[in-house]
Amino acid sequence: MAEQFAVEVIKCHGTGNDFFALDETEAILIPDPLKAAFARLVADRQEGAGADGILFVSAFDAQHPRMRFFNPDGSEAEMCGNGLRCAARLCFEGHYRGQDPLLFKTLGGTFRTENFFSTTHQMPFVRVTTDPVSINPDNILASRTTTPFLAQPVPVGDQSWMGTILSIGNPHLIVPVADLHNVALMELGHALECHPLFPRRTNVSFVQGVDRHTLLVQTYERGVGLTLSCGTGMTASVVAQVLNGTVQNQEPVAVHTAGGIAWVTPRVTEEGISAQLTGNATWVYRGKIPLIIRDDTIHFASETLVDKEYVYEEEARHYGQLAEQTLFDPAILRGTSLEKRLLQR
């Protein structure tokens, strides 16, 4: 027996990292056993609607929303910083209207979010606090060592790359480079993501320093590939560079990516490490996806994959003005999977 229905979605992004968000605070829209299949179907950029991931936002309890995040390959990630900003806005304007701050439950832990309107950029912003940031790599490395992995060599073929491992609720390898133009981002990113050191794979961010308050970052996300930005990757990159002495501690650091700019304020002290990620949570459009469930599989029910009901043109215009200020050179991504997306933006 087949069941046909349409699911309401919001296409959204944080620093160009784009998602479909589903509000399940009042009712389950996609059955749990089909969430991974839904992500593979919808997020596929060739055959589907296209996105860097799917956000399922629900009510953990009366005070705490919950976010689950699925990658385009159907794997469920512990945390997504850009996605959490979008989830926070969805809750602040919806089921948890007016409640601020919000404490989100995720597989990667509990995260505090604060919603505000940026008068400078004329759009909704969200600040995400990660406390603590972990430098204990025992749940990331195959060796299960508890010794911090700071500026240590990671061999790839006949080369070795210096890297730092952190957890922002999910695993990250931060690799500083002299010039992003000279890095084979797709090949090296994949090799490091799937390196034998990491039994559950890892996110990889390549970082080029500009000055003590500015970084260029390109992330190869676990289960996604190259993305225009990665919120936890930006956060981990700044903290790693503080630990390695190249950026300023306890002051905002501007992180420039292909998708735009966000700001990370690290706090590295003897008592522990925390960080705040601040940036946009932008709506692209609101619409419905016609679906059909047949024999425990999920499919599109129409050649029109998404029926767009409202396009947020003003938000796109304001975000475009911010994105134009990025110092990230699009030529860095020439010949990669992101080149076409940059041309279409």
230-284 residue pLDDT tens: 999 999 999 999 999 999 999 999 999 999 999 999 999 999 999 999 999 999 9
Shared-domain flag, residues 272 and 288: no
Domain end point (choices 230, 264, 280): 280
Residue 50 domain boundaries: 2-126+282-311
Query: ∠134-138-143 over CA atoms, to 5°?
Result: 150
279-315 residue pLDDT tens: 999 999 999 999 999 988 999 999 999 999 999 999 9
166-206 residue pLDDT tens: 999 999 999 999 999 999 999 999 999 999 999 999 999 99
Reading the block at residue 16, the tokens are 């160009």
> Is 230 a residue of the active site?
yes
Its pTM stands at 0.95
Shared-domain flag, residues 141 and 118: no
Shared-domain flag, residues 78 and 103: yes
Query: ∠244-250-256 over CA atoms, to 5°?
Result: 70
How far is it, in rounded angstroms, from Cα 315 to Cα 79?
A: 25
Reading the block at residue 138, the tokens are 């025992």
Shared-domain flag, residues 7 and 98: yes
Phi, psi of 239 (to 5 degrees): -60, -45
CB 132 within 8 A of CB 97: no
From the candidates 80, 86, 91, 194, give the one annotated as an active-site residue.
80
